[in-house]
Structure formats: C-alpha cells, structure tokens
Amino acid sequence: MAGDNRVFAKELVDEVVDQLKIANLENATIGEVLLVALALEQRTGIPFIRMDQGSPGLPPNRIGIEAEKAALDSGIVSQYPAAAGVAELKEQASRFVKAFLDIDISARACVPTTGGVAASFASMIASTQRIKGKDKVLFIDPGFPIQKSQLKILGIEWLSFDIYEYRGDKLRAKLESFLCSGQIAAIVYSNPNNPAWICLEDTELRIIGELADRYDAIVLEDMAYFCMDFRKELGHPFAPPYPPTVARYTGNYILMLSSSKIFSYAGQRIALACVSDKLFDQYYEALALRYGDSGIFGQTFIASILYMITSGCTTSTQFAYAEMLKAACEGRIDFVADTKVYAERAEKMKRIFLDNGFHIVYDYDVSQPVGDGFFFTLGYGRMSGGELLKELLYYGVSSISLGTTGSDQEGIRACTSRMSEEWYPVLRQRMEWFRRDHPRENC
C-alpha cells in the first residue's frame, strides 16, 4: 500500500506511539487512541477528525443548569446526600419511566448513581453475589469495553458472544447454550448498541426476558442512548410508540438511564439504576450472610454496595436531573429532537465513507437496515480492525477497533459526537486520499 497522501508520516506516528509506551496500536484502547491524536495535533498543529471517544457534542441542557444553580444557592449541599437519592429525583425518575417506556417502577426502586458506569459496577456486584455458584456475567457483544474492565477489578468471570450471527430467533439457542450451566448471574447489553448502533427488537427482548426468568438471570439493560432509534417517532410522553425494553417480558431487570447523552449532561456524572419492584424486594440469603444486612436486594444494592462506591450522588446534580426529567414528562424538553443531530451527522459521514470504498459492518437489524445515530461501524476491504484504525490515524482520523468491544467482525467504531459542518469537506478530502493510497483490490 502506498502512503503518498498521508496527513501524518508513519515515522512520526511511530515515534509518538513509542513515546506514549503503547504496546500495540492496533489494539489500542479509547484512551490510548485519544492520547496519540492529541500528541500528533500538538506536534504538528494539524487537527484530527475525532471519531474515538463517545463524548456528547451538544450544549448541556439549560433547564438542568438552572435547577442545579438553584440547588447550590439553597444551601442544601451542606448536607450529605441520602444513599437512596433525593426524593424529587426518585419520583421524577419513576414518572419518566412510565411516560417514555410505559413501565411501572416505584420511586423507591429508582436509584441515582454517579454515572452509568457506577450503575453497572454496582449492578454486576449485586447480581453475582446474590446466589452462591451463580457468579458469572454474560455479555451480548459488541459492547462497552469499560464494563469488562470493571469485572477485571472485581475478579468476576464473564462470557460473551458477538450477536452478529444470532439475530432474531437464532438468539434463543445461543443464549441458552450459556445459561444452561446455571452459572450466569447477569446478562448485559446496550440498546441502541454501543458500538454497532444495532437495536434489539421486541422478538429478541422477549427471548432474553423468557430465558432470564427460566434461568434466574438479571438483565442489565443499558439505555444510555435512550429513544435514540431515530427510525421511529419515539419520545412523546405518555404516548406510543415506546422504545423496546426487556422490562415488558421479565421482572428480573435493572434499567440503566443516563443523563449524559439525552441531556448532554455528561460532566456532572448522574444516571439511574431503575430496579424492577419484584427484584428490589427479593430476599437473598447469600446477600444477608455476606453483608450482615436484611438480604433484600434493593436495600443491599443501595446501602451495602452502591454507597460504598460513591457515598451517594452530588446533591445539586440530582436536582438538575430531576428537573430535566420533569420537563421532559411535561413536554418542555424534546430530548429526541435535541439529539437527532447525531443521526444527521451519521448520515453525512457514512455517505463520505461509502463513496470512498468503505462498508458498514453492522448494517442490519432483524427487520430493517440499521439506523443512523451516535455510532456506526466501518470496514474496508479485507483490512482487520486494528489495521484500519492504524491506517486512518495516518490520515488524521481517530477511531477504535471493533475487536476491543467484543466483536468478532473486522472494522472500527466511528462516533458522530464531535463532527461539525466545517469538517465534512476535510473528511471527504482525507478519505479520497485514503482511497487512492489503498486500492480495494490490494486491501
């Protein structure tokens, strides 16, 4: 492959990678790719087109900001927050879940967490400790790499599979091949999916729910990109259509809802773990023996696990989140319309890549082509994901390899959050250079 049109010389990239002590650029983490991009920008003054980190690219919600200011001015922040969360947030969370999912979860079972990462961390601890011998986690991949890193910290074993070949009815037999051991405590996935942006459909969620009941596994449904399947008219409070959720098919679930993407409130680290009332009230002898508490799942989750991780969430931010949820339920915030710009960006970015010989890796859901949104996936000829990541860096485009997300497919994840109008011509020019230097017949 030629490299005549590279934005950054191979020698320069290799030098930066060596200085940063990155062992293998092709398997680099999001953080490592970010460091390489920043270092090259600083060395040359040439900006990168950043498709690596999934950080919100929209202004934060003003209603949240004003509510947080008011909470700070009230003086309430002189007191420690309650472990279970402030009442206002819990009540609005319960209402929000009813308004936008048509699911009933009581306020007491809607628990604020310091971001979605804390929600998954605590949920995986509680799930794997509740029954002796049922202590492994199953990931429906591709997925969020950090969740596996959390299990490394905890010393919890996990299993995983790439859903690419197991959509629709094929999912049942594949899931059951793992669950039949009796060792799976929790099933984890995101919907819409990070990184592939595929969306599990109701038929698949029904399968997951039925098997969760049969094998007593807790489903941890990460809804960080809530209502962001822009192919549907979602996001109308107390009116269908509602997003698909496993909560319709099982009582063994925890829904994880974050403020980061739908309200662009990522910097304040606030999310919710919404535990089904059935699970919240369930007694587990193993929890009672371990913690010396009631053994009731919800109480242990809040007081004996989550509080030990973060000691509660920032009080003012809880009031901000409560007000944003309330405004959404009342129709004063249309968070779906606010975030639809990500789909518009994805459509434009995909067209540039497709025009220059790339293909979409995860291109189809069960019944329709995958939608446009916060993420999409790209492949190029026979290149491995690691090779493509590395080659794109030479052309000033950063991404992450699908291999780091549990995918068995070759390609990269692209994020739309940092894209803006002035960068489309630059992206097109760089990808035209890439195509010239990488004839498809040679790749």
Residue 3, pLDDT above cutoff 70: no
Q: How far is CA 310 from CA 81, 165, 167, 258, in A?
A: 11, 39, 37, 16
pLDDT tens per residue, range 29-74: 888 999 999 999 999 999 999 999 888 989 999 999 999 999 999 9
Mean pLDDT for the stretch of residues 291-316: 97
Q: What are phi and psi of 429, to 5 degrees?
A: -60, -45
The two structure tokens encoding residue 17: 């990678």
- E strands of 14-109, at which residues? 49-50
Asked whether this chain's domains 10-47+340-442 and 62-329 adopt the same fold, the reply is: no
Sequence-ordered list of residues with C-beta below 8 angstroms from that of 439, at least 6 positions apart, any chain: none
Q: Which fold has domain 10-47+340-442?
A: Aspartate Aminotransferase, domain 1 (3.90.1150)
Tokens 């030098």 belong to residue: 15
Residue 166, pLDDT above cutoff 60: yes
Which pLDDT does position 54 carry in this prediction? Answer: 86
Nearest to 365 by CA among 118, 123, 196: 196
Which pLDDT does position 2 carry in this prediction? Answer: 52
Q: Could you tell me the pLDDT band of residue 423, with boundaries at 50, 70 and 90?
A: very high
Q: What are phi and psi of 61, to 5 degrees?
A: -70, 125
Mean pLDDT for the stretch of residues 315-334: 98
Q: Kindly report the number of other CB atoms within 10 A of residue 181's CB atom.
A: 12
Mean pLDDT for the stretch of residues 263-272: 97
Mean pLDDT for the stretch of residues 203-226: 98
Which pLDDT does position 442 carry in this prediction? Answer: 79
pLDDT tens per residue, range 111-157: 999 999 999 999 999 999 999 999 999 999 999 999 999 999 999 99
Which pLDDT does position 53 carry in this prediction? Answer: 85
Which pLDDT does position 255 carry in this prediction? Answer: 98
Which pLDDT does position 4 carry in this prediction? Answer: 84
CATH of 62-329, one of 1.10.760.10, 3.40.640.10, 3.40.50.2000, 3.30.470.10: 3.40.640.10
What does the alpha-carbon distance between residue 322 and residue 259 come to, in Å, rounded to a whole number? 10
pLDDT tens per residue, range 207-217: 999 999 999 99
Which pLDDT does position 35 carry in this prediction? Answer: 94
The two structure tokens encoding residue 293: 């508490």
Q: Could you tell me the pLDDT band of residue 172, with boundaries at 50, 70 and 90?
A: very high
Which pLDDT does position 443 carry in this prediction? Answer: 76
Tokens 């690596």 belong to residue: 52
Lowest mean pLDDT among 21-35, 79-93, 350-364, 387-401: 21-35
pLDDT tens per residue, range 332-369: 999 999 999 999 999 999 999 999 999 999 999 998 99
Residue 113 is which amino acid? Answer: T
Sequence-ordered list of residues with C-beta below 8 angstroms from that of 418, at least 6 positions apart, any chain: 49, 50, 51, 53, 55, 57
Sheet holding 412-415, edge to edge: 359-360, 375-379, 412-415, 400-401
Which pLDDT does position 247 carry in this prediction? Answer: 98
Q: Is 145 left (phi over 0), alpha (psi -120 to 50) or beta?
A: alpha
Domain ranges of the chain: 10-47+340-442, 62-329
Which pLDDT does position 324 carry in this prediction? Answer: 98
Question: Could you tell me how many helices (H) and strands (E) the chain has, helices first?
Answer: 17, 13
Residue 248, pLDDT above cutoff 80: yes
Which pLDDT does position 440 carry in this prediction? Answer: 82
What does the alpha-carbon distance between residue 18 and residue 20 come to, in Å, rounded to a whole number? 5
Which pLDDT does position 241 carry in this prediction? Answer: 97
b/e string for 388-427 if b means 16 or more Cβ within 10 A?
A: bbbbbbbbbbbbbbbbbbbbebbbbbbbbbbbeeebbeeb
For helices 424-437 and 341-355, what crossing angle results, to 10°?
30
Whether 84 contacts 90, CB under 8 Å: yes
Mean pLDDT of the chain: 96
